[in-house]
Amino acid sequence: MREDIRIKTGVPGLDEILYGGIPKSNLVVLSGDPGSGKTIMCLQYLYNGATKFNEAGIYISLEESEEELIKIAADFGWDFNKLQKEGKVAIITVELYDFDKLKNTIEDAISKMGAKRLVIDPGVIFRLYFERELDARKRIMGLGKMLKKINCTSIITNEIALDKIDSLFGLEEYVADGVILLYHTCSQNKFIRSIGVLKMRGTKISEKLHPLQITKNGLKALHKQELFEDIK
Ligand SMILES: Nc1ncnc2c1ncn2[C@@H]1O[C@H](COP(=O)(O)OP(=O)(O)OP(=O)(O)O)[C@@H](O)[C@H]1O
Ligand SMILES: [Mg+2]
């Protein structure tokens, strides 16, 4: 039987929703609408890994520059410059047009650092690089399969429209072990943030949507509350 080793996200409330954390080596799609906190969660996942759990991590950025990511992290008090110097985190910006190179870059970086955590953000950008949907689908499935073979717990982000679940070329249904959703829901005159786990192979999960806050320390899931229960 597979050992039940958990990779703790360190995001307050989320490990409780996951009954202990993400099962080791799982490939997770983090889906959310624009501004829902995907990038912040990815940074938080790597920061906590490096500082609290002694697990090195790699951020493959397909959109934001290294400087932009370091600045976002610094807003929450996470010093990525320091972590990079200590070899605990690497931010790698890659152009997607050379897809084989991307795969090699990931494999090399993981073995060089002994990384245990990997983030690819935003995964949805694959759509821009391949003219045919089928090509994008084949590539991302291939990448997903590779990520599952390596000894890393990976998060790949996907952008969805408000209140709509679009899959990342079917990755969620076929290859991914887990799907975490970040939502904005419209309620009267405001948006309410929430988080939910749609699936996670290898663990029990809370099947509810929980309120989510972005605080000065990063994302925080209110795992004891259900969305809308306190909203009159
Ligand atoms: N210091 C902060 N305190 C509270 N909220 C913040 C802070 N910094 C950013 N935010 C909120 O987080 C949102 C951006 O989060 P993030 O960049 O992680 O979202 P995203 O899902 O990656 O968005 P995109 O789809 O643009 O990539 C902002 O729109 C803002 O509402
Ligand atoms: Mg983002």
Residue 124 Cα to ligand 2 midpoint, Å, equals 10
Does 30 reside within a domain?
Answer: yes
Does 1 reside within a domain?
Answer: no
Distances in whole angstroms, Cα of residue 125 to Cα of each of 72, 130, 140: 20, 10, 11
Q: How many domains does the chain have?
A: 1
- Interatomic CA distance for residues 154 and 131, integer angstroms: 26
Residue 204 amino acid letter: K
Residue 232 Cα to ligand 2 midpoint, Å, equals 31
The answer to whether the CB of 10 falls within 8 A of the CB of 48 is yes
Return the ligand number nearest the Cα of 77.
1
- Partnered with residue 159 across adjacent β-strands are 32
Does 14 reside within a domain?
Answer: no
Residue ranges of alpha helices (H) inside the chain are 14-17, 38-52, 66-75, 80-85, 99-113, 126-129, 133-149, 171-174
Give the domain CATH number at 113.
3.40.50.300
Q: Which residue, among 106, 103, 100, 167, has the nearest Cα to 133 in the 3D structure?
A: 167
How high is the pLDDT of residue 232? 42
Does 231 reside within a domain?
Answer: no
Does 232 reside within a domain?
Answer: no
- 174 HSE (CA, 13 A, CB side): 13
Does 68 reside within a domain?
Answer: yes
What's the domain range around 54?
24-179
pTM: 0.94
**What is the atom index within ligand 1 of the atom nearest the CA of 40?**
18
Per-residue pLDDT of the chain (232 residues; tens, 9 = 90+): 567 899 999 999 999 999 999 999 999 999 999 999 999 999 999 999 999 999 999 999 988 999 999 999 999 999 999 999 999 999 999 876 677 888 889 999 999 999 999 999 988 777 777 778 788 788 888 888 888 888 899 999 998 876 666 676 667 677 889 999 998 887 788 888 999 999 999 999 998 999 999 999 999 999 999 887 755 4
Tell me which residues have their CB closer than 6 angstroms to ligand 1.
32, 34-40, 75, 122, 159, 214
Q: Which residue has the tokens 């991914």?
A: 176
**Helix (H) or strand (E) run with residue 89 in it:** strand 89-93
Residue 113 Cα to ligand 2 midpoint, Å, equals 25
Does 79 reside within a domain?
Answer: yes
